[in-house]
Chains A and B, each alone.
Chain A
Amino acid sequence: MSEQHGAEDAVQAEWPLYEIFVRGKRGLNHVHVGSLHAADDEMALRHARDVYTRRNEGVSIWAVRANAIAASSPDEKDPLFAPAADKVYRHPTFYKIPDNVPHM
Protein backbone atom coordinates (compact mmCIF):
# COMPACT_ATOMS: atom_id res chain seq x y z
CA MET A 1 0.00 0.00 0.00
CA SER A 2 2.78 2.42 0.91
CA GLU A 3 4.57 1.48 -2.30
CA GLN A 4 1.46 2.34 -4.24
CA HIS A 5 1.40 5.72 -2.55
CA GLY A 6 5.05 6.26 -3.38
CA ALA A 7 4.31 5.59 -7.03
CA GLU A 8 1.60 8.23 -7.01
CA ASP A 9 4.00 10.77 -5.51
CA ALA A 10 6.44 10.06 -8.31
CA VAL A 11 3.70 10.74 -10.86
CA GLN A 12 2.80 13.99 -9.16
CA ALA A 13 6.36 15.12 -9.81
CA GLU A 14 5.96 15.67 -13.56
CA TRP A 15 8.44 14.40 -16.08
CA PRO A 16 10.93 17.15 -16.89
CA LEU A 17 10.29 19.49 -19.82
CA TYR A 18 12.51 19.17 -22.89
CA GLU A 19 12.84 21.67 -25.73
CA ILE A 20 13.06 19.95 -29.12
CA PHE A 21 15.17 21.07 -32.08
CA VAL A 22 14.97 19.41 -35.50
CA ARG A 23 17.38 19.56 -38.45
CA GLY A 24 15.04 19.56 -41.45
CA LYS A 25 17.67 18.24 -43.85
CA ARG A 26 21.42 18.08 -44.19
CA GLY A 27 22.94 21.53 -44.53
CA LEU A 28 20.35 23.28 -42.33
CA ASN A 29 20.53 24.32 -38.69
CA HIS A 30 18.54 22.58 -36.02
CA VAL A 31 15.42 24.69 -35.45
CA HIS A 32 13.28 24.81 -32.32
CA VAL A 33 9.95 23.07 -32.98
CA GLY A 34 8.33 22.83 -29.55
CA SER A 35 8.61 21.02 -26.28
CA LEU A 36 7.52 17.83 -24.55
CA HIS A 37 7.79 15.96 -21.26
CA ALA A 38 9.90 12.84 -20.86
CA ALA A 39 11.36 10.85 -18.00
CA ASP A 40 14.87 10.87 -19.48
CA ASP A 41 16.91 11.86 -22.55
CA GLU A 42 16.24 8.68 -24.48
CA MET A 43 12.49 8.93 -23.97
CA ALA A 44 12.62 12.60 -24.97
CA LEU A 45 14.17 11.65 -28.32
CA ARG A 46 11.69 8.83 -28.91
CA HIS A 47 8.73 11.06 -28.08
CA ALA A 48 10.15 13.87 -30.20
CA ARG A 49 10.37 11.48 -33.13
CA ASP A 50 6.66 10.63 -32.79
CA VAL A 51 5.40 14.11 -31.94
CA TYR A 52 7.46 16.27 -34.30
CA THR A 53 8.66 14.12 -37.23
CA ARG A 54 5.70 11.98 -38.33
CA ARG A 55 6.10 13.20 -41.93
CA ASN A 56 9.86 13.17 -42.58
CA GLU A 57 10.28 16.64 -41.10
CA GLY A 58 13.80 15.93 -39.97
CA VAL A 59 17.04 14.00 -40.21
CA SER A 60 18.29 14.78 -36.70
CA ILE A 61 16.75 15.74 -33.36
CA TRP A 62 18.21 17.56 -30.35
CA ALA A 63 16.38 17.29 -27.03
CA VAL A 64 17.51 19.77 -24.38
CA ARG A 65 16.27 19.93 -20.79
CA ALA A 66 14.39 23.25 -20.65
CA ASN A 67 16.02 24.17 -17.35
CA ALA A 68 19.47 23.85 -18.95
CA ILE A 69 18.78 26.73 -21.38
CA ALA A 70 20.03 30.20 -20.47
CA ALA A 71 17.81 32.80 -22.14
CA SER A 72 17.90 36.55 -22.64
CA SER A 73 14.69 38.48 -22.23
CA PRO A 74 12.73 38.49 -25.51
CA ASP A 75 11.70 42.08 -24.81
CA GLU A 76 12.94 44.28 -27.63
CA LYS A 77 13.51 47.14 -25.18
CA ASP A 78 16.10 44.97 -23.49
CA PRO A 79 19.38 46.96 -23.15
CA LEU A 80 21.20 43.80 -24.23
CA PHE A 81 20.38 44.60 -27.86
CA ALA A 82 20.49 48.39 -27.64
CA PRO A 83 24.20 48.84 -28.59
CA ALA A 84 23.56 47.26 -32.00
CA ALA A 85 21.21 50.04 -33.09
CA ASP A 86 23.83 52.81 -33.38
CA LYS A 87 26.46 50.78 -35.22
CA VAL A 88 25.16 51.22 -38.73
CA TYR A 89 28.72 51.00 -40.06
CA ARG A 90 28.45 47.23 -39.47
CA HIS A 91 26.10 47.00 -42.45
CA PRO A 92 27.35 47.02 -46.05
CA THR A 93 24.79 49.65 -47.08
CA PHE A 94 26.58 52.21 -44.86
CA TYR A 95 29.33 52.57 -47.48
CA LYS A 96 28.79 54.59 -50.66
CA ILE A 97 30.47 52.96 -53.62
CA PRO A 98 30.10 54.39 -57.16
CA ASP A 99 27.70 52.45 -59.40
CA ASN A 100 30.42 51.77 -61.97
CA VAL A 101 32.48 49.69 -59.54
CA PRO A 102 31.56 46.07 -60.37
CA HIS A 103 31.11 42.99 -58.16
CA MET A 104 30.78 44.88 -54.86
Chain B
Amino acid sequence: MTATPEVSPGAEQDLLDHFEATISRNDRIEPRDWMPEKYRGTLVRQIAQHAHSEIIGMQPEGNWITRAPSLRRKAILLAKVQDEAGHGLYLYSACETLGVSRRQLTDRLINGTQKYSSIFNYPALSYADVGTIGWLVDGAAICNQVPLCRTSYGPYGRAMIRICKEESFHQRQGYELLMTMMSGTDEQRAMVAESVDRFWWPSLMMFGPPDDESPNTRQSMAWGIKRDTNDELRQKFVDMTVPQAEALGVTLPDPDLHWNEERGQYDFGQPDWAEFHAVVKGSGPCNAERIAHRRRADDEGAWVRAAATAFARRSQTSGQLGRPISGKESDR
Protein backbone atom coordinates (compact mmCIF):
# COMPACT_ATOMS: atom_id res chain seq x y z
CA MET B 1 0.00 0.00 0.00
CA THR B 2 2.77 2.43 0.89
CA ALA B 3 4.40 3.72 -2.26
CA THR B 4 7.69 4.56 -0.54
CA PRO B 5 10.50 3.26 -2.72
CA GLU B 6 13.69 1.67 -1.37
CA VAL B 7 16.33 4.36 -0.96
CA SER B 8 20.05 4.57 -0.19
CA PRO B 9 21.17 6.31 3.06
CA GLY B 10 22.29 9.47 1.21
CA ALA B 11 19.03 9.70 -0.65
CA GLU B 12 17.19 9.14 2.63
CA GLN B 13 18.78 12.30 4.05
CA ASP B 14 17.52 14.20 0.99
CA LEU B 15 14.05 12.82 1.55
CA LEU B 16 14.17 13.74 5.23
CA ASP B 17 15.32 17.28 4.39
CA HIS B 18 12.50 17.61 1.89
CA PHE B 19 10.00 16.29 4.46
CA GLU B 20 11.24 18.69 7.17
CA ALA B 21 11.10 21.58 4.70
CA THR B 22 7.49 20.77 3.83
CA ILE B 23 6.58 20.73 7.55
CA SER B 24 8.40 24.00 8.28
CA ARG B 25 6.63 25.72 5.35
CA ASN B 26 3.40 24.66 7.08
CA ASP B 27 2.51 22.62 4.01
CA ARG B 28 0.69 19.32 4.42
CA ILE B 29 2.18 15.86 4.06
CA GLU B 30 0.09 13.69 1.72
CA PRO B 31 -0.25 9.89 1.68
CA ARG B 32 2.21 9.11 -1.10
CA ASP B 33 4.94 11.46 0.16
CA TRP B 34 8.01 9.96 1.78
CA MET B 35 7.80 10.28 5.56
CA PRO B 36 9.91 9.06 8.49
CA GLU B 37 8.66 5.74 9.85
CA LYS B 38 8.23 7.30 13.31
CA TYR B 39 6.00 10.01 11.85
CA ARG B 40 3.92 7.33 10.16
CA GLY B 41 3.81 5.26 13.37
CA THR B 42 2.82 8.22 15.54
CA LEU B 43 0.02 9.14 13.16
CA VAL B 44 -1.29 5.58 12.97
CA ARG B 45 -1.35 5.41 16.79
CA GLN B 46 -3.05 8.78 17.21
CA ILE B 47 -5.59 8.53 14.36
CA ALA B 48 -6.48 4.94 15.28
CA GLN B 49 -7.01 5.90 18.91
CA HIS B 50 -9.17 8.76 17.74
CA ALA B 51 -11.21 6.53 15.39
CA HIS B 52 -11.65 3.86 18.06
CA SER B 53 -12.86 6.54 20.49
CA GLU B 54 -15.62 7.56 18.08
CA ILE B 55 -16.69 3.94 17.59
CA ILE B 56 -16.57 2.94 21.27
CA GLY B 57 -18.11 6.33 22.10
CA MET B 58 -21.38 5.20 20.53
CA GLN B 59 -21.95 2.76 23.38
CA PRO B 60 -22.56 4.90 26.51
CA GLU B 61 -25.21 7.00 24.78
CA GLY B 62 -26.49 4.30 22.47
CA ASN B 63 -27.85 2.63 25.59
CA TRP B 64 -30.31 5.49 26.01
CA ILE B 65 -31.80 5.55 22.49
CA THR B 66 -34.64 3.20 23.38
CA ARG B 67 -35.28 5.03 26.65
CA ALA B 68 -35.20 8.64 25.45
CA PRO B 69 -38.10 10.53 27.06
CA SER B 70 -39.64 11.84 23.82
CA LEU B 71 -39.59 11.24 20.10
CA ARG B 72 -37.71 14.54 19.67
CA ARG B 73 -34.95 13.45 22.06
CA LYS B 74 -34.81 10.01 20.49
CA ALA B 75 -34.39 11.42 16.97
CA ILE B 76 -31.63 13.76 18.19
CA LEU B 77 -29.78 11.01 20.03
CA LEU B 78 -30.06 8.65 17.08
CA ALA B 79 -28.61 11.31 14.76
CA LYS B 80 -25.81 12.02 17.21
CA VAL B 81 -24.80 8.38 17.62
CA GLN B 82 -24.93 7.96 13.83
CA ASP B 83 -22.57 10.93 13.54
CA GLU B 84 -20.11 9.21 15.90
CA ALA B 85 -20.11 6.19 13.58
CA GLY B 86 -19.50 8.53 10.65
CA HIS B 87 -16.63 10.24 12.47
CA GLY B 88 -15.06 6.87 13.18
CA LEU B 89 -15.28 6.03 9.49
CA TYR B 90 -13.70 9.33 8.35
CA LEU B 91 -10.81 8.66 10.70
CA TYR B 92 -10.38 4.99 9.77
CA SER B 93 -10.20 6.10 6.12
CA ALA B 94 -7.50 8.65 7.00
CA CYS B 95 -5.58 6.03 8.97
CA GLU B 96 -5.75 3.52 6.12
CA THR B 97 -3.91 5.96 3.84
CA LEU B 98 -0.87 5.27 6.05
CA GLY B 99 -0.80 1.61 5.03
CA VAL B 100 -2.83 -0.19 7.70
CA SER B 101 -6.01 -2.05 6.82
CA ARG B 102 -9.43 -1.63 8.40
CA ARG B 103 -9.28 -5.25 9.54
CA GLN B 104 -5.97 -4.68 11.32
CA LEU B 105 -7.36 -1.60 13.05
CA THR B 106 -10.47 -3.43 14.25
CA ASP B 107 -8.34 -6.35 15.46
CA ARG B 108 -5.98 -4.05 17.37
CA LEU B 109 -8.93 -2.38 19.09
CA ILE B 110 -10.45 -5.71 20.09
CA ASN B 111 -7.18 -7.26 21.25
CA GLY B 112 -6.25 -4.14 23.20
CA THR B 113 -3.02 -3.21 21.41
CA GLN B 114 -4.55 0.14 20.43
CA LYS B 115 -6.41 2.38 22.89
CA TYR B 116 -9.43 4.62 22.83
CA SER B 117 -10.21 7.61 25.02
CA SER B 118 -10.55 6.57 28.67
CA ILE B 119 -13.71 8.68 29.06
CA PHE B 120 -15.78 5.99 27.35
CA ASN B 121 -14.94 3.51 30.09
CA TYR B 122 -17.28 5.43 32.39
CA PRO B 123 -20.96 4.43 32.31
CA ALA B 124 -23.93 6.65 31.34
CA LEU B 125 -26.07 5.95 34.41
CA SER B 126 -28.89 8.47 34.04
CA TYR B 127 -30.54 10.31 31.19
CA ALA B 128 -28.87 13.51 32.40
CA ASP B 129 -25.59 11.85 31.35
CA VAL B 130 -26.67 12.18 27.71
CA GLY B 131 -26.71 15.95 28.25
CA THR B 132 -23.48 16.02 30.24
CA ILE B 133 -21.64 13.90 27.68
CA GLY B 134 -22.73 16.30 24.94
CA TRP B 135 -21.78 19.38 26.93
CA LEU B 136 -18.55 18.32 28.64
CA VAL B 137 -17.23 15.30 26.74
CA ASP B 138 -17.99 16.65 23.28
CA GLY B 139 -16.93 20.10 24.49
CA ALA B 140 -13.54 18.71 25.48
CA ALA B 141 -13.36 16.81 22.20
CA ILE B 142 -13.98 20.05 20.28
CA CYS B 143 -11.13 21.74 22.18
CA ASN B 144 -8.85 18.88 21.16
CA GLN B 145 -10.07 18.68 17.59
CA VAL B 146 -10.24 22.27 16.38
CA PRO B 147 -6.41 22.70 16.37
CA LEU B 148 -6.10 19.28 14.67
CA CYS B 149 -7.81 20.74 11.58
CA ARG B 150 -4.34 22.28 10.96
CA THR B 151 -2.39 19.08 11.62
CA SER B 152 0.47 18.38 9.22
CA TYR B 153 -0.97 15.17 7.73
CA GLY B 154 -3.48 16.11 5.01
CA PRO B 155 -6.04 13.29 5.31
CA TYR B 156 -6.17 13.64 9.12
CA GLY B 157 -6.73 17.41 8.92
CA ARG B 158 -9.47 17.00 6.31
CA ALA B 159 -11.24 14.38 8.45
CA MET B 160 -11.02 16.73 11.44
CA ILE B 161 -12.59 19.60 9.46
CA ARG B 162 -15.61 17.44 8.63
CA ILE B 163 -15.85 16.25 12.22
CA CYS B 164 -15.62 19.72 13.76
CA LYS B 165 -18.42 20.99 11.52
CA GLU B 166 -20.69 18.29 12.92
CA GLU B 167 -19.50 18.24 16.52
CA SER B 168 -21.02 21.60 17.40
CA PHE B 169 -24.52 20.11 17.16
CA HIS B 170 -23.46 17.44 19.64
CA GLN B 171 -22.40 19.93 22.26
CA ARG B 172 -25.39 22.22 21.80
CA GLN B 173 -27.97 19.43 22.02
CA GLY B 174 -26.37 18.30 25.28
CA TYR B 175 -26.35 21.77 26.77
CA GLU B 176 -29.95 22.37 25.68
CA LEU B 177 -30.97 19.06 27.26
CA LEU B 178 -29.36 20.10 30.57
CA MET B 179 -30.99 23.56 30.40
CA THR B 180 -34.36 21.86 29.99
CA MET B 181 -33.73 19.64 33.01
CA MET B 182 -32.48 22.60 35.10
CA SER B 183 -35.77 24.39 34.48
CA GLY B 184 -37.70 21.30 35.61
CA THR B 185 -38.19 19.73 39.04
CA ASP B 186 -35.78 19.57 41.99
CA GLU B 187 -35.24 15.89 41.19
CA GLN B 188 -34.21 16.79 37.64
CA ARG B 189 -31.80 19.46 38.89
CA ALA B 190 -30.33 16.94 41.30
CA MET B 191 -29.84 14.50 38.43
CA VAL B 192 -27.92 17.14 36.47
CA ALA B 193 -25.72 18.01 39.48
CA GLU B 194 -24.95 14.35 40.14
CA SER B 195 -24.12 13.75 36.49
CA VAL B 196 -21.83 16.79 36.20
CA ASP B 197 -20.05 15.71 39.42
CA ARG B 198 -19.26 12.32 37.87
CA PHE B 199 -18.15 13.60 34.46
CA TRP B 200 -16.15 16.73 35.33
CA TRP B 201 -12.87 15.06 36.30
CA PRO B 202 -12.91 12.37 33.60
CA SER B 203 -13.55 15.20 31.08
CA LEU B 204 -10.39 16.99 32.23
CA MET B 205 -8.50 13.70 31.83
CA MET B 206 -9.48 13.60 28.15
CA PHE B 207 -6.60 15.96 27.35
CA GLY B 208 -4.10 13.36 28.51
CA PRO B 209 -1.46 13.45 31.23
CA PRO B 210 0.24 16.73 32.31
CA ASP B 211 2.85 18.04 29.87
CA ASP B 212 5.83 16.91 31.96
CA GLU B 213 4.49 13.33 31.83
CA SER B 214 3.52 13.29 28.17
CA PRO B 215 6.44 11.64 26.36
CA ASN B 216 5.10 12.00 22.82
CA THR B 217 4.09 15.66 22.88
CA ARG B 218 7.41 17.29 21.99
CA GLN B 219 8.06 15.23 18.85
CA SER B 220 4.41 15.41 17.79
CA MET B 221 4.51 19.21 18.00
CA ALA B 222 7.81 19.41 16.12
CA TRP B 223 6.18 17.43 13.32
CA GLY B 224 3.05 19.57 13.38
CA ILE B 225 0.86 16.58 14.28
CA LYS B 226 -0.23 18.25 17.51
CA ARG B 227 -0.55 22.02 17.65
CA ASP B 228 -1.03 22.57 21.41
CA THR B 229 0.11 20.77 24.56
CA ASN B 230 -2.25 18.78 26.80
CA ASP B 231 -2.13 21.39 29.58
CA GLU B 232 -2.76 24.29 27.19
CA LEU B 233 -5.87 22.57 25.85
CA ARG B 234 -7.07 21.64 29.34
CA GLN B 235 -6.78 25.28 30.43
CA LYS B 236 -8.67 26.43 27.36
CA PHE B 237 -11.45 23.96 28.09
CA VAL B 238 -11.80 25.09 31.71
CA ASP B 239 -11.87 28.76 30.67
CA MET B 240 -14.59 28.06 28.12
CA THR B 241 -16.66 25.83 30.38
CA VAL B 242 -16.88 27.79 33.64
CA PRO B 243 -19.15 30.55 32.24
CA GLN B 244 -21.32 27.87 30.61
CA ALA B 245 -21.68 26.15 34.00
CA GLU B 246 -22.65 29.47 35.59
CA ALA B 247 -25.28 30.11 32.91
CA LEU B 248 -26.62 26.61 33.48
CA GLY B 249 -26.66 27.07 37.25
CA VAL B 250 -24.52 24.06 38.14
CA THR B 251 -21.48 23.99 40.43
CA LEU B 252 -18.38 22.28 39.09
CA PRO B 253 -16.98 19.90 41.75
CA ASP B 254 -13.59 21.58 42.22
CA PRO B 255 -12.91 23.63 45.38
CA ASP B 256 -9.71 25.00 43.77
CA LEU B 257 -11.54 26.51 40.81
CA HIS B 258 -11.03 30.30 40.96
CA TRP B 259 -10.58 33.13 38.50
CA ASN B 260 -6.95 34.26 38.49
CA GLU B 261 -6.97 37.97 37.73
CA GLU B 262 -3.22 38.07 37.11
CA ARG B 263 -3.19 35.27 34.53
CA GLY B 264 -6.58 36.15 33.08
CA GLN B 265 -7.42 32.43 33.34
CA TYR B 266 -9.01 30.06 35.83
CA ASP B 267 -6.92 28.18 38.38
CA PHE B 268 -8.20 24.65 38.88
CA GLY B 269 -7.36 21.40 40.66
CA GLN B 270 -5.70 18.36 39.13
CA PRO B 271 -7.68 15.23 38.28
CA ASP B 272 -6.75 12.01 40.06
CA TRP B 273 -4.00 10.87 37.70
CA ALA B 274 -3.69 7.50 39.44
CA GLU B 275 -7.31 6.85 38.43
CA PHE B 276 -6.53 7.97 34.87
CA HIS B 277 -3.62 5.54 34.54
CA ALA B 278 -5.66 2.71 36.06
CA VAL B 279 -8.52 3.29 33.59
CA VAL B 280 -6.11 3.48 30.63
CA LYS B 281 -4.54 0.21 31.77
CA GLY B 282 -7.95 -1.47 31.73
CA SER B 283 -9.48 -1.30 35.20
CA GLY B 284 -12.11 1.39 34.55
CA PRO B 285 -15.76 0.61 35.30
CA CYS B 286 -16.63 -0.41 31.71
CA ASN B 287 -13.41 -1.38 29.88
CA ALA B 288 -14.26 -5.10 29.58
CA GLU B 289 -17.89 -4.43 28.67
CA ARG B 290 -16.99 -1.94 25.90
CA ILE B 291 -14.57 -4.30 24.19
CA ALA B 292 -16.82 -7.33 24.65
CA HIS B 293 -19.64 -5.41 22.96
CA ARG B 294 -17.40 -4.37 20.05
CA ARG B 295 -16.16 -7.92 19.64
CA ARG B 296 -19.72 -9.26 19.65
CA ALA B 297 -20.79 -6.75 17.00
CA ASP B 298 -17.79 -7.76 14.86
CA ASP B 299 -18.50 -11.49 15.27
CA GLU B 300 -22.23 -11.17 14.69
CA GLY B 301 -21.69 -9.02 11.59
CA ALA B 302 -19.26 -11.49 10.02
CA TRP B 303 -21.92 -13.42 8.10
CA VAL B 304 -23.37 -10.17 6.72
CA ARG B 305 -20.00 -9.06 5.39
CA ALA B 306 -19.41 -12.52 3.91
CA ALA B 307 -22.84 -12.60 2.30
CA ALA B 308 -22.33 -9.16 0.72
CA THR B 309 -18.96 -10.26 -0.64
CA ALA B 310 -20.43 -13.45 -2.07
CA PHE B 311 -23.32 -11.52 -3.61
CA ALA B 312 -20.95 -9.00 -5.19
CA ARG B 313 -18.86 -11.79 -6.70
CA ARG B 314 -21.89 -13.49 -8.20
CA SER B 315 -23.72 -10.54 -9.63
CA GLN B 316 -22.94 -7.42 -11.55
CA THR B 317 -24.65 -4.40 -10.03
CA SER B 318 -27.61 -3.20 -12.00
CA GLY B 319 -30.59 -0.95 -11.45
CA GLN B 320 -30.93 2.64 -10.32
CA LEU B 321 -27.58 3.07 -8.62
CA GLY B 322 -24.13 2.49 -10.04
CA ARG B 323 -24.68 3.80 -13.56
CA PRO B 324 -21.85 5.15 -15.73
CA ILE B 325 -21.48 8.92 -15.22
CA SER B 326 -21.80 9.92 -18.88
CA GLY B 327 -24.49 7.49 -19.97
CA LYS B 328 -25.53 7.85 -23.59
CA GLU B 329 -29.19 8.04 -24.58
CA SER B 330 -29.11 4.39 -25.65
CA ASP B 331 -27.94 3.31 -22.19
CA ARG B 332 -31.09 4.49 -20.47
Contact = CB atoms under 8 A, between A and B. Distances in A.
A43 B303 contact: no
Given A55-B166, A71-B32, A8 B322 contact: no
A7 B302 CA distance: 8
Nearest to B30: A74
Contact of B33 (A7, A40, A45, A75): A75
Given A34-B90, A77-B18, A46 B311 contact: no
A36 B93 contact: yes
A54 B83 contact: yes
Contacts of A7: 302-303, 306, 310
Interface in A33-88: 33-37, 39-46, 50-51, 54-55, 62-63, 71, 73-75, 77
Interface residues of B, number: 37
Contacts of B18: 75, 77
Interface string B71-108: 00000000100110010011001101000011100000
Interface residue SS majority, chain B: helix
A40 B313 CA distance: 9
Contacts of A42: 317, 319, 321-322
A11 B33 contact: no
A57 to B, nearest CB: 9
Interface in B285-328: 302-303, 305-306, 308-312, 315, 317, 319, 321-322, 325
Contact of B309 (A15, A45, A50, A54): A15
B159 interface: yes
Contacts of B86: 50-51, 54
Nearest to A55: B166
A97 interface: no
B19 to A, nearest CB: 10
A13 B305 CA distance: 10
Contacts, number: 83
A46 B34 CA distance: 34
A56 B315 CA distance: 31
A51 to B, nearest CB: 5
B306 A37 contact: no
Contacts of B102: 14, 37
B306 A11 contact: yes
Most chain B beta-carbon contacts within 10 A, residue among A12, A17, A46, A77 = A17
Nearest to A7: B306
Given A51-B89, A77-B18, A39 B308 contact: yes
A17 B317 contact: no
A8 B303 CA distance: 8
Given A14-B102, A37-B102, A62 B321 contact: no
B294 to A, nearest CB: 16
Given A42-B319, A75-B33, A34 B312 contact: no
A28 interface: no
Contacts of A75: 18, 32-34
The 3 closest A-B pairs by CB, nearest first: A41-B322, A40-B312, A39-B308
